[in-house]
Structure 1
């Protein structure tokens, strides 16, 4: 009887200890798992937010460009808008950029020249369009009805006068999904209705977290957010409400978090089998320890918990030290780069000030020598009139001297005109006179280079609506660039031609110089880019030319074969077209 009682008590105590051990271990492990899942949710939300925030300002910035606003009211600017959107999307890393008119039809897109282009597509049913037209901004995740490729759409309303439009950027979030899949993470991202659209587990995609209401299904079908997916037949992943943060059941536990900015749901789960295995193990350990080692078990368990806590704190401290070290290294690198850029900018500003001072000095010098030149011409004329019949042999010499003086006077006249600040008003400018004046201005440089620019001008005036001084600046820059390209190369030539083509004035400056590398052509019109490594050029010439021509409604294009030739083409509308029929 005593033996049975002695066995009964330890048995009951062991069973009680086993139950308590299982119960407590289950709660502790679940709590730890939830903490880890919450940390995973926090990191995932930051990653998603960072990916979206990279492009959040892109529609606002791109919408400030004049070509985008002009395209809303003038189809003539659509080609420029297409190319601009294509360039911005490529540099920013966005999936697509497109412009929608007030009726919801796409009129310009970064994929204008590719299959599946958005141009001509009606997106008036998309919430990002209607919200942007009403509130100024919109955002929406959906499967593309044109391409079938899902993405996150950020939209901004833009205005040209009273004409509205919407500029949209499509962000590809698939890299996040690929990262989750490679890491083996059971993470899912769902919309406000609970429909999963990104997940590390492919079988979860386009399935709801909880049963969808009829209103939610109708709203999603109306917006075509998941075009081609039958949501009414999709089985829910879990049996939970939209407000519950905990997920348990179906062999898994998980946590749910709401992103306030988008009202999206992020779900992270872990298998519950390992939790059950650990709980049973702890129950068995508790039962065995109760049979004679309760005290020892308690001490060992306490030491184990303390060691585990220290290890976690140590790992956390090491992680914090590593993160801070990386941050400091990034700050040092950024500061060094900023100092380098600051020094370069200071050098460029000093050089610009030197060039400005040189321009002011040259203007003063021109002013000072103009009167002596006029006096010299008058003196030579007087000397010629006073010649005796016997001195007729000197008439030719005096005529030659007077011709040289007149040439100097023409050059100083061009320099005074070139250095004069223009009022900004436009007038009818004959491009033939502009090219002649530019040729006179670059004559000293062409004489040094041993290449005289050949002018091919039409007999009739070619009038454009512009500023003569700034057009001379464009012509001088283009001719000087052509002369620089031919320097040191034998049998070189520079040909400057003017013609009227398809209602536009067309200037072509062609040289047989060193040419431009194919991968550099798109960079030569960027500010501060220069291929003249041995010169003091700022790399602003072609950038300034492009800006001036754009202001006057013109455009500049470049063709080149490296080592052979380069041709720069300037196109400008004729004056009677640019001024609405004015002659």
Structure 2
């Protein structure tokens, strides 16, 4: 019996080693699968953040120019000339109320140089702003100092939160007041909640002020000093005391993703979440929380499957080894079993070939994974559209989803060529002027709208001069004018049988002319005189505020030029931008201006 002890000990040792190997492989598989899950979670979160940030920017952009345009309105100017005139006050109140019914802001109001509200769109309500003093609000102080301001706070009069945009009003170089627009951002929170997203937004102080979970509002994302909380409470920004308990406590970083514990609903046991952050232009941060439980469950499933597969393979190997030993022993004892040994040998050979083939397939799978990784970057441009389609499908908006699918095939080819110019075009600029090649301005504008031109099947005709034509202007603002006129022309031809967009650049009497002609529906004669007035529009409700042509007209007037219109209903319209041209060498002109 003694000889059996070393064999038993050997088998026990091998078994322990194999179990340890299975456990190690299972743990390694779990870690790798979990890292892959967090990477996938990060990619999906970035897609969602892109869509959410775009929606937020679009919401604010609708009202961004409203304070500046509001300050130019005749009823408001008349009010500042005589703030005590009852008729002027009544006219300004009615104007603000009527304007806000079209604009859709929370409230519109104007303040004097001391912060006193002179007129407001809610003048006839119990919570009227008229007569209230808002000099303590940062948006008022920022507008006085820098010309513009923005601030999120709970209204001191209404108790309703909102995003405030302000613009300084001047007369003959002297500050006479501030125009303010209050935007209600609560619909965004409702959209986040309906979509099932855990989304929040924090301000520059680290305090969450918008969230899909109401209990997260007015709490810091991460711990901040008690002294800072006391300062924020003294400022009365949120109309209530800030709860110093943080919403998120970071535990570490996994595959580039910040992971931690986020406070649960009604302050129940916090759960583990991955946090993705997207900066916004206002100095705020957009936050998206992704539940890490799904990634851990998936990783555990993959690890269990991997460990079981390895265990099964090892058991097969052990059984095969034991069979070989038995066969060897029987062959030594009896020659009759030689044939059976040969058969077993053949079976083992086939098993070996099968394992070799499996190894080949595994290598092929890795190669395909590498190829998939290499094509990820070209497909990145499609992700935003795909993310939007997912949201639309959850809302059962089949028609808009089908429209997204139609455009997906062409987005990838277009987006990469546009990105560099889109960054320049979207960058906030100072209005500084330089020598501008007008042909390049037109080309850039057409490139920005190429997708619309293609989708609407519009034939575009360019007529350019033999020699380059230059002007002294701000290139981004001038391009904004051309984009606006081109976009209007494209919209005017929607539904028309003949769609030709002709862009002509020329020179006459020392002035450059950019002529944009369409074959659209034309403009009614009674509308021509109001075409450049603020908020005048013939578009359907929700398609625009009627500010595009008004702003474009103001930009061209600043350049010492004008915009001419010629239109025949049913035939088409021609808009001509006339601005001063530059004589001589552009480089010499630029050097002379800089000197």
TM-score, structure 1 length as denominator? 0.54
Alignment of 1:447-466 (within 5 A): none
Return the offset for 1:41: 2.2
Alignment of 1:554-573 (within 5 A): none
User: 2:418 maps to what in 1?
Assistant: none
Alignment of 1:11-26 (within 5 A): 11-26=19-34
Any idea what SS the aligned residue of 1:29 has?
A: helix
Distance 1:8 1:142, change over 3 A: same
Alignment of 1:97-246 (within 5 A): 97-161=108-172, 162-228=174-240, 230-231=241-242, 233-240=243-250, 246=258
Q: Would the aligned equivalents of 1:245 and 1:257 in 2 still touch at CA under 8 Å?
A: no
Runs of at least 4 residues off by over 6 Å: 310-315, 349-352, 526-529
User: 1:338 maps to what in 2?
Assistant: 492
Q: CA RMSD in A?
A: 3.7
Distance of 2:260 and 2:293 partners within structure 1: 12
One of 306, 323, 326 as aligned partner of 1:286: 306
User: 1:51 maps to what in 2?
Assistant: 59
Distance of 2:102 and 2:79 partners within structure 1: 21
- Structure ID, larger Rg: 1
Alignment of 1:505-516 (within 5 A): none
Return the offset for 1:260: 4.4
Can you list the C-alpha shifts for 1:507-535, whole angstroms capped at 9, x where unaligned? xxxxxxxxxxxxxxxxxxx9999xxxxxx
Return the offset for 1:306: 4.6
Distance of 2:66 and 2:290 partners within structure 1: 37
Deviates more, 1:243-252 or 1:178-187: 243-252
Query: Would you say how many aligned residue pairs link Structure 1 and Structure 2?
Result: 353
Return the offset for 1:322: 3.7
- Structure 2 residue 47 is the aligned partner of structure 1 residue 39: yes
Unaligned 5+ runs, structure 1 = 353-525, 530-583
Return the offset for 1:347: 6.3
Can you list the C-alpha shifts for 1:19-77, whole angstroms capped at 9, x where unaligned? 11111111111121122222222222222122111111100011111221221231332
Distance of 2:13 and 2:62 partners within structure 1: 72
Return the offset for 1:103: 0.8
Q: Would the aligned equivalents of 2:278 and 2:287 in 1 still touch at CA under 8 Å?
A: no
Distance of 2:245 and 2:536 partners within structure 1: 57
Distance of 1:259 and 1:528 partners within structure 2: 34
Q: Would the aligned equivalents of 2:280 and 2:286 in 1 still touch at CA under 8 Å?
A: no
User: 1:568 maps to what in 2?
Assistant: none
Distance of 2:54 and 2:208 partners within structure 1: 18
Return the offset for 1:303: 3.9
Any idea what SS the aligned residue of 1:122 has?
A: coil
User: 2:275 maps to what in 1?
Assistant: 255
Can you list the C-alpha shifts for 1:59-100, whole angstroms capped at 9, x where unaligned? 001111122122123133221111111122111111111001
User: 1:373 maps to what in 2?
Assistant: none
Distance of 2:144 and 2:528 partners within structure 1: 48
- Structure 2 residue 84 is the aligned partner of structure 1 residue 72: no
User: 2:424 maps to what in 1?
Assistant: none
- Structure 2 residue 291 is the aligned partner of structure 1 residue 271: yes
Unaligned 5+ runs, structure 2 = 1-6, 262-269, 315-354, 387-403, 412-450, 458-487, 497-517, 530-534, 539-595
Distance of 1:25 and 1:528 partners within structure 2: 55
Alignment of 1:267-416 (within 5 A): 267-293=287-313, 296=358, 299=361, 303=365, 306=368, 309=372, 316=382, 319=386, 322-324=406-408, 328=452, 332=456, 337-339=491-493, 345=522, 348=525
Alignment of 1:441-480 (within 5 A): none
Distance 1:67 1:305, change over 3 A: farther
Distance 1:158 1:211, change over 3 A: same
